[in-house]
Structure 1
């Protein structure tokens, strides 16, 4: 176990950030999708044309991606290192995170990454694909928040020992 003070401080910081990002994503999701059933391409077109809703849409996409980046690129590798585990490519780190029970499924995580990329790359080009990606993203937010808190809780427990 690598218990250096800097490593502990970084993990504590990342744990707090992940919780905040998960909470902000949940709030943005509620605000963006509050008056929508199943999202359609017409809904997305209307959002893009409305300045306030367009900003919420941008915030949703950004927060959805940022939370994944913080967890997958920062928290999981830092936590693995802290525990004395080898840190490797993202695919290996996510497989370990799944085995440790920190995330539900590495495969789901890869699906979330693809979804995030669809939201970013299809933005404004194909409203049907974007609407489908956003709707699927909305459905994943509760699971993403649960994984975020589960991982942050595990970090906090280990740091308190």
Structure 2
């Protein structure tokens, strides 16, 4: 493995580790909430959650970690995977996603839904309880999809040499 490929491999590994760290903390926050509330959260459960300081903190942590995870994956990890594979990343993000889809890592439409969810957090989370409840329920539902994407990228780094 050449020097460049080794550098790119280390970059993928570092980005993957950062992503897994965010996912682990996201899952931990959701698990803490699951000890008290059933998912999907009902309107009444969410009303109770926001009144309980510790539960609200876990809720905020889950939403924050989801945002950080989505940012890390979209801004760093995906490009580093393609660089490791010896590909050019100076292209539109949609082209990067399409290439990752052809590698069976991510589905383009699914990723755009995840990105839209992250954008919704940035705009509406603090101002609307119904939006916040829906966000938490959706994050709870898609966390396994995010883990699957990370696991697929991990296989590339562990199982294959770059093309």
Aligned partner (choices 65, 79, 94) of residue 91 of structure 1: 94
Q: CA RMSD, aligned part only? A: 2.4
C-alpha displacement of 1:146: 1.3
Q: 1:38 to 1:79 in 2, by over 3 A?
A: closer
Q: Across the two proteins, how many residue pairs are aligned to each other? A: 160
| Partner in structure 2 of residue 109 of structure 1 | 111
Kindly tell me: are residues 14 and 132 of structure 1, through their superposed partners in 2, closer, same or farther at Cα, counting changes over 3 Å? same
Aligned counterparts of 1:20 and 1:156: Cα–Cα separation in 2: 18
C-alpha change, 1:52 and 1:159, in structure 2 (3 Å) is farther
- Relative to the length of structure 2, the TM-score reads 0.84
Aligned mates of 1:29, 1:2 — CA distance in 2:
42
Aligned counterpart for 2:73 among listed residues 71, 74, 77: 71
List alignment gaps of at least 5 residues for structure 1: none
C-alpha offsets along residues 71-113 of structure 1, whole Å, 9 cap, x if unaligned? 121111011112121212322211111111112x111111011
TM-score (norm 1): 0.85
Kept in 2, the 8 Å contact 1:118–1:130? The answer is no
| Cα distance change of structure 1 residues 100 and 3 upon mapping to structure 2, 3 Å threshold | farther
1:8 corresponds in structure 2 to: 9
Distance in 2, matches of 1:140 and 1:32, equals 16
Q: Please tell me whether the aligned partners of residues 95 and 106 of structure 1 are also in contact (alpha carbons under 8 angstroms).
A: yes
* Structure 2 runs not aligned, ≥5 long: none
The partner residue of 1:153 within 131, 152, 155 is 155
Q: Distance in 2 between matches of 1:66 and 1:151?
A: 18
Contact 1:80 1:86 in 2 (8 A): yes
